Amino acid sequence: MKPLTSRQQEILEFIRQFLEQEGFPPTLAEITRAMGLKSPHGVREQLQALARKGAIELIPSASRGIRLLNKVAERDALPLIGKVAAGRPVMTEAHIEKYCRLGPELFQNKADYLLRVQGMSMRDAGILDGDLLVVRQTTEARNGQIVVARMQDEVTVKTLRVEEAMAYLEPANPDFPIIVVDLAKQDLAIEGVVVGVIRTRIG
Amino acid sequence: MKPLTSRQQEILEFIRQFLEQEGFPPTLAEITRAMGLKSPHGVREQLQALARKGAIELIPSASRGIRLLNKVAERDALPLIGKVAAGRPVMTEAHIEKYCRLGPELFQNKADYLLRVQGMSMRDAGILDGDLLVVRQTTEARNGQIVVARMQDEVTVKTLRVEEAMAYLEPANPDFPIIVVDLAKQDLAIEGVVVGVIRTRIG
DNA sequence: AAATACACTGTATTTATGATCAGTCTATGA
DNA sequence: TCATAGACTGATCATAAATACAGTGTATTT
C-alpha cells in the first residue's frame, strides 16, 4: 500500500472513530465539518485518493458508502512476548510467541504488547508467576509506575522510583531486594509501562 | 425489553447481516427490497417499533441512521458484568455493562463472561478490588477451585471446599472469615468457575 | 362489537447526500 | 519555468433516502 499523506491519515482516523462511535460511516458533509472545511469536494478527492491507495473502498452513489479495508481485527491483536533473550530489547520480532486479540475497550491506556511474567517479585501487587502483563511501549515513566526496565542483559518488572541521579526498582515482595541503579554509572532503559495484567491460569 | 414479533426479528437479523457484510447499515429501500416488499413505509414502521422496543436506535433524518443496541452478535465478545443485583443470577441480561472482545487463544478453558470484583477478600490469590474475573459458567466445581457462588441474595467469589454436607467458601485474605454453609439447611448455587483474571487499572 | 396492534400498498414531498464543473493556492520535482 | 500533485473553495445538479399522508386487510385483545 502506498504511503498516506498526513491529511489522509487524519481523515482515515476520523472515519475510524466515527464508525466506532456511531455504528455507521460518516457522510462527506460530516467529514467536511469535522475537518473544518467548507466544501465537500476536497474531502471527496481525499477519499478517492484513499481508495486508490487501498485504505478504503468507496461504494458509488451509496450514502455513507465508505468501507474500511485493512481488517480492524489485526489492529486489535497484541503480540505476546514469552521469554526475552539476554541483552536484547523486549519488543523484538524474534521474541513474539503469538498474537492475542484483545479489544481496546478493556484498557484506558493504549496497549502495545503482552509480556509473560517470570517469578514472584511483584506478588503483593497482584502480579504472579506466569501472568501476562499488558504493556504500553514508552521510554518515559513516572515514579510509582510499574515498568518494564532493562539493564544491559537483564529485563525486569518493578515499581520505579527515581530520586536525583539514583533509580530504585522496587519489588512488591519482601523476599526480594530493591535494585539500586546509579544513573551516572549504569544504563537503565525503560522499555514500557504496565497498564494491565492478565492471568490465564488459576491455582 | 418487549418481545419482538417474528417479522421484526427477521428485519433485525437482516440489518445485522448487512452490517457485518457491508460495513454500514442498510437504507429503508434496501430493507424493503430484501424483505420482498414494495413500499418503504412498512419497513419504517417496523423500525420504529424496533426502536420503541429498544432493539435499535434510529437517528432522525440521517441516511442509514440505524444503530444496533444489544450487540450480542459481536464475535468473540464476552459480556462484562459490573454489579450484581441482590437475589438474581449473575449472568442476566440486565447486569451486562458492555461487551469486551477477548480472543479465545488466551485462555485454555472456555470463558463465558467477565465479572468485576468488589473487595479485597481474594487479595492473596492475586485478585484485587476492581479486577475482572474471567468466568466459565457451570454449576459443577471441584475442591480448591475459585468459584462464583450465590447464597440467596449474595454473590461471592471464594475458593470452594466441600466436605460431606458442609461447604466452606475460603477467602484468600486473613482479614476475612471463612463462610461455612450447611448444605442441609442452606442453598448454595455455583454460578461459575474462575478461569482467568484481568486487571485494567494499575496502582 | 369495537379498539388496538400488526403488516403492509401507493403516492407525494422534502432533505440529505454524492457527483460534477470551474477555479485557486501552494508546494515540489523535472 | 513548466508540469504535476495535494489540498482546497464555491456553486450547481441529480438522485438517494427519509418522511408524511391516505388508505387496506387481518389478526388479537377488551
Distance from CA of A43 to the nearest CA of B (A): 19
| pLDDT for the residue numbered B87 | 63
Residue nearest to nucleotide C7 (CA to C1'): B42
- Residue B138 banded pLDDT, cuts 50, 70, 90: very high
* Three cell numbers written together for A46: 481525499
Number of domains chain B is built from: 2
A156-to-A61, A147, A161 alpha-carbon distances in Å: 56, 8, 14
Contact A101, B76 (CB under 8 A): yes
Asked if pLDDT for residue B187 goes beyond 50, the answer is yes
Residue A142 to residue B1: CA distance in whole angstroms: 47
| pLDDT for the residue numbered B72 | 46
Residues A84 and A148 in one domain: yes
Residues B139 and B84 in one domain: yes
Residues A137 and A103 in one domain: yes
Residue A102 to residue A44: CA distance in whole angstroms: 34
Residue B130 to residue B132: CA distance in whole angstroms: 7
Phi, psi angles (nearest 5°) of residue A23 = 95, -5
Instruction: Answer yes or no: is B49 within a domain.
Output: yes
In this predicted model, which residue has the larger pLDDT, A89 or A57?
A57
Residues B95 and B164 in one domain: yes
Domain extent, residue A55, equals 6-70
Residues B172 and B192 in one domain: yes
A77 touches strand C (CB under 7 A): no
Listed residues A70, A93, A110: the one ending a domain: A70
Asked if pLDDT for residue B71 goes beyond 70, the answer is no
B60 touches chain A (CB under 8 A): no
Residues B103 and B15 in one domain: no
- Residue A72 banded pLDDT, cuts 50, 70, 90: very low
Instruction: Find the CB nearest A202 among B77, B103, B195.
Output: B195
Asked if pLDDT for residue B51 goes beyond 50, the answer is yes
Instruction: Answer yes or no: is A143 within a domain.
Output: yes
| pLDDT for the residue numbered B27 | 92
A68 touches chain B (CB under 8 A): yes
Taking CB atoms and an 8 Å limit, are A197 and B195 in contact across chains?
A: no
Asked if pLDDT for residue B199 goes beyond 90, the answer is yes
Instruction: Answer yes or no: is A203 within a domain.
Output: no
Residues A87 and A172 in one domain: yes
Residue B108 to residue A201: CA distance in whole angstroms: 8
Q: Given its phi and psi angles, is residue B62 left (phi above 0), alpha (psi -120 to 50 degrees) or beta?
A: beta
* Three cell numbers written together for B108: 485454555
Mean pLDDT, residues B180-187 taken together:
91
- Residue A2 banded pLDDT, cuts 50, 70, 90: low
In strand C, the nucleotides that come within 7 Å of a protein beta carbon are 6-12, 15-22
Residue A124 to residue A8: CA distance in whole angstroms: 47
* A142-151, B71-80, B183-192: segment of lowest average pLDDT: B71-80
What average pLDDT is seen over chain A? 86
Instruction: Answer yes or no: is A1 within a domain.
Output: no
Taking CB atoms and an 8 Å limit, are B24 and A77 in contact across chains?
A: no
Residues A63 and A94 in one domain: no
Determine whether A39 is an active site residue: no
Asked if pLDDT for residue B74 goes beyond 60, the answer is no
Contact A120, A128 (CB under 8 A): yes
| CATH code where residue A93 lies | 2.10.109.10
* A87-91, B50-54, B126-130: segment of lowest average pLDDT: A87-91
* Residues B6-33 pLDDT 10s: 888 888 888 888 988 888 999 988 999 8
Residue ranges of the alpha helices (H) in chain A?
A: 6-22, 28-34, 40-52, 72-75
Asked if pLDDT for residue A159 goes beyond 80, the answer is yes
- Residue A76 banded pLDDT, cuts 50, 70, 90: low
How would DSSP label each residue in B38-53?
A: S-HHHHHHHHHHHHHT
Residue A112 to residue A15: CA distance in whole angstroms: 22
In strand D, the nucleotides that come within 7 Å of a protein beta carbon are 6-11, 15-22
Instruction: Answer yes or no: is B139 within a domain.
Output: yes
| CATH code where residue B15 lies | 1.10.10.10
- End-to-end, the C-alpha distance of chain A in Å comes to 47
Residues A52 and A85 in one domain: no
3-state secondary structure (DSSP) of residue A190? strand
Instruction: Answer yes or no: is B131 within a domain.
Output: yes
Residue A118 to residue A128: CA distance in whole angstroms: 8
A147 touches strand C (CB under 7 A): no
Question: Exactly one of A39, A71, A110, A121 is catalytic; which is it?
Answer: A121
3-state secondary structure (DSSP) of residue A150? strand
DSSP state of B141: -
A41 touches strand D (CB under 7 A): yes
In this predicted model, which residue has the larger pLDDT, B142 or B203?
B142
Residue A106 to residue A111: CA distance in whole angstroms: 10
